[in-house]
Amino acid sequence: MADTVTCMACHEATGMEVGPHPDEEMGGKWVTLVSEMSRSGEMTTSAVTSHSINWLVECDRCHFEGNAYELPVLTADGEVPEAEEAEGN
């Protein structure tokens, strides 16, 4: 997993945006991001380093039904939900 996701992408504590590194040369590795309006009015996304770390992680922060990156759905504990759970029963 360390090949595709930085530790901070999962362990960041403030709820920062996470996603593939905006620099394609970084190979799409997931990092913490900040999206903001530039002075010219253009929306920009930059990789940043957070200094707020959680020991525990919740995998469903990114791995939820209908996520933008088509990641597999996981529970907060990183388990694949049972079919009944996934259907909302």
Total number of domains constituting the chain:
2
Beta carbons within 10 angstroms of residue 47's beta carbon = 17
Pair (50, 65) in one structural domain: no
Task: Tell me the pTM.
Answer: 0.79
The token pair that represents 79 in the structure block: 């388990």
Residues 11 and 43 in one domain: yes
Mean pLDDT of the chain: 92
Task: Tell me, yes or no, whether 45 and 63 share the same domain.
Answer: no
Tens of pLDDT, residue by residue over 36-68, are 999 999 999 999 999 999 999 999 999 999 999
Residues 48 and 26 in one domain: yes
pLDDT at 83 over 90: no
Distance CA 69, CA 5 (A): 13
CA–CA gap between residue 11 and residue 57 (Å, rounded): 6
Residues 2 and 40 occupy one common structural domain: yes
Q: How confident is the model at residue 78 (pLDDT cuts 50, 70, 90)?
A: very high
Quick one: 51 and 63 in the same domain? no
Same domain, 22 and 65: no
Q: Is residue 72 classed exposed, middle or buried when 0-12, 13-18 and 19+ CB atoms within 10 A define those classes?
A: exposed
Whether residue 22 has pLDDT greater than 70: yes
Domain of 19 in residue numbering reads as 1-55
